[in-house]
Structure 1
Amino acid sequence: MALNQTPDQKVHEGEVLGSVKRTISAVDGFGALSQLVNAAQECIEIHAVEQTKRARLHTYASAEVQRIKTAESILKGYFEQSFAERRANFDALFSRLDQALEQDNTQAISDVLRGIVDIAKTSPLADLGDLSQIRAALDDPDQVWDL
């Protein structure tokens, strides 16, 4: 019995691959070589195809990220401009309200307050229109964005 062998285990003896009972012909050798070459070529082709797919996906992802960044830049600019205009409008209206209050001009006070409320009711997003149209524009690869 060999070391670390239990009585239930058997030792298998013999050749691992067995002996070649016949001579391998040149045709058999060439066939095996052809199979090996074909398998290697198929592997190389699959690798090339998959590498092309990855490159295409990377290009697509890069283009989409750039579109998102462009849209973000445009939206930020719009909000900065819109809120700057709103701020200027509110500043002017509150200045007029102060003047109307100093002059005790009730008609001017009423008009200015109506203007403040009207501006406060609107949202910069409301001026953008239908958001589904914006989504469609973002999805359109031919959309031209003015910066």
Structure 2
Amino acid sequence: MPEPARTHAAKLARPGANVITPLQGFDALNQIVNATRECIAVHQVEKTKRARLEVYETTEIARIKAAESVLRDYFAQIFAERRANFEELFTRLDTALEAQDGETINLVVRGIVDIAKSSPLADLGDLGKIREALDDPNQVWEF
């Protein structure tokens, strides 16, 4: 016996219900293209910013190292000078003690105390201003 004929049922969509028009499809494509372009543009801008920051970082590290070198040399000179002054003063103190010269002992001890009280950085000025300069992003340092 032959098979009975089958009937296929289909749902008909109402006009405008879940039907995407060619114009809507084109708008969706434009949104994707525009979003992609914007994403690429933002990526390029951020990549450029990162490159600038890397250059800035490298420059600032070089400047810090140069300043560190100058400061190390300064301290080496100042403390060498102070060491030489102290050695001379203690030599004079020993001589004054051997000679039992009270006036010279007094002067030498005062000189030792005066040098000991002063800081090598005290002659540089207000250290608070240095801190302010370090905090100022627009500060230009020249060496």
* Aligned residues between the structures: 125
Which of 20, 31, 38 in structure 2 is aligned with 1:35?
31
Q: Which residue of 1 aligns with 2:140?
A: 142
Q: Distance in 1 between matches of 2:66 and 2:133?
A: 12
Q: Distance in 1 between matches of 2:129 and 2:24?
A: 68
Q: Which residue of 1 aligns with 2:14?
A: none
Q: Distance in 2 between matches of 1:94 and 1:22?
A: 102
Unmatched 5+ residue regions in structure 2? Answer: 1-17
Which of 88, 106, 127 in structure 2 is aligned with 1:92?
88
Q: Which residue of 1 aligns with 2:98?
A: 102
Q: Mark the CA change 1:102 to 1:23 in structure 2 (over 3 Å): closer, same or farther.
A: closer
Greater shift in the superposed pair: 43-52 or 127-136: 127-136
RMSD (CA atoms): 2.5
Q: Distance in 1 between matches of 2:67 and 2:133?
A: 10
Which of 121, 127, 135 in structure 2 is aligned with 1:125?
121
Percent identity between the two aligned chains: 58
Which of 111, 114, 130 in structure 2 is aligned with 1:115?
111
Q: Deviations over 1:16-75 (max 9, x none)?
A: xxxxx86864x5554444333222211110110111121222222223322322222222
Report the TM-score when normalising by structure 2: 0.71
Report the TM-score when normalising by structure 1: 0.69
Greater relative contact order, per chain length (Cα 8 Å cut-off, separation 6+)? 1
